[in-house]
Structure 1
Amino acid sequence: MKKERFEAITDAILAIISTLMVLEIKIGELTTSNIHHFIAQIVIYVVSFTYIGILWLNHHNMFRHIELVDNKTIWVNFWLLFSTSLIPLATITIDENFFDTKSHVFFGSVLAVVLFFYSLLEERVYKISQHKYNDTNRKMNWASTLIFVASIPLSYVSIYISSAIFVLVPFSYLLLPNKARQN
């Protein structure tokens, strides 16, 4: 399959996922007593939206040097998109039950699965590509997968540890030099 069709379906699904997340933001009556909840809610959604933005950008960069996509790559990508479609559910769960350990476990689990399938997809692309890639992103993606897996038991220790992981991992990507992000 030509990559344009493959990228079109990926872009469409990611756009729908982003839209679903925004539609889940509930704006109640803004008073001084509940403004902290509203700010926390926006922060949670910004973090989740950042994950999707990074995924979209990395996905685009990953396929820059690919012309054709094989069936294995397509299926790994669909599993990536399916797991990514769970981000809005995990986001609303942690938003509504921030102090519940299970919501952090669920959020961490979803992110770990997303990163796992993303890392598998990246391995497929490296295998079928003739282009030489920089290994920085590959290492960071597998490390991030392990960090999200670690966030699951760490959520039982403290939800603040898992929260720090959820915030620091996507923003650490933004700190990478531009050359490392563009394979």
Structure 2
Amino acid sequence: MGKGRIEAFSDGVIAIIITIMVLELEVPHHVDLHSLLPLLPVFLSYVLSFIMIGIYWNNHHHMFHVVHHVRGGVLWANLHLLFWLSLMPFTTAWMGENHIESLPVALYGFVLMMSGVAYYILARSLIALEGQDSALAIAFGQDRKGKISVLIYAAAIVLAFVSPWIAIACYVVVALIWLVPDRRVEKVLLAAPAHGNTPGPNAPHP
């Protein structure tokens, strides 16, 4: 099966997720700066979630750029990822509306963690389809950054009940780790021949 529909569908779902999140920013009824202060936690939650969704969109795009075709298992793995990402508007709104309280922050972290797990499953499904010698397999490598991110999320869920702001700091750290689009795929593409799926002799190794 071709990959065009799965990319278009994913782009559409992610665009809707961002739209739903921004609609949670209610317009204040007054025109002074003081009226904006109650919206600050909601706005900060939105900014963090927007960055997170943007990171997934960037890396999803990079990953599918080196994929040639998909199959049923990949479709379900992709839907699994989109399921967890689709919960972001709810957890973002709950966290912001309750001014960064422990339980909403922990649930937010749980959704982030499961999104990371789902992305890993999707990547492995694609590698199984493309082959261990494919550009994606070489670019993905051992995915240490992805595994570390999931561990940070897991720790942040626990730390949210100690201090929600420490958990938020953990989420920000993960966002900073991933803020730059995944260069592993770009390096493999640059090292690969103009045609085909096999990287060139200078391709990076995990």
Deviation at 1:80, TM superposition (A): 0.5
Q: Distance in 1 between matches of 2:142 and 2:53?
A: 16
Deviation at 1:181, TM superposition (A): 6.3
Q: Computing the radius of gyration over CA atoms, which structure comes out larger, 1 or 2?
A: 2
Aligned length: 182
Q: Distance in 1 between matches of 2:96 and 2:183?
A: 35
Give the structure-2-normalised TM-score.
0.80
Deviation at 1:10, TM superposition (A): 0.7
Deviation at 1:126, TM superposition (A): 2.2
- 1:159 counterpart residue number: 164
- 1:16 counterpart residue number: 16
What aligned pairs does 1:1-183 form with structure 2 within 5 A after superposition?
1-28=1-28, 29-129=30-130, 130-131=134-135, 132-135=137-140, 138-174=143-179, 179-180=183-184, 182=186
Q: Distance in 1 between matches of 2:45 and 2:100?
A: 13
8 Å CA contact 2:116–2:149 kept in 1: the answer is yes
8 Å CA contact 1:11–1:56 kept in 2: the answer is yes
Question: 1:44 corresponds to which letter in structure 2?
Answer: S
Aligned-pair identity in percent equals: 31
Q: Distance in 2 between matches of 1:175 and 1:60?
A: 13
Q: Distance in 1 between matches of 2:93 and 2:151?
A: 23
Distance 1:146 1:181, change over 3 A: farther
Distance 1:158 1:136, change over 3 A: farther
Listed as ranges, the gaps of 5+ residues in structure 1 are none
Secondary structure of the residue that 2:139 maps to in structure 1?
coil
Deviation at 1:30, TM superposition (A): 4.9
Give the structure-1-normalised TM-score.
0.90
Q: Deviations over 1:20-75 (max 9, x none)?
A: 11111112235343433333322211110111111011001001121210111110
Q: Distance in 2 between matches of 1:37 and 1:166?
A: 22
Q: Distance in 2 between matches of 1:26 and 1:126?
A: 43
Secondary structure of the residue that 2:69 maps to in structure 1?
coil
Question: 1:179 corresponds to which letter in structure 2?
Answer: R
Supply the RMSD in Å over aligned alpha carbons: 2.0
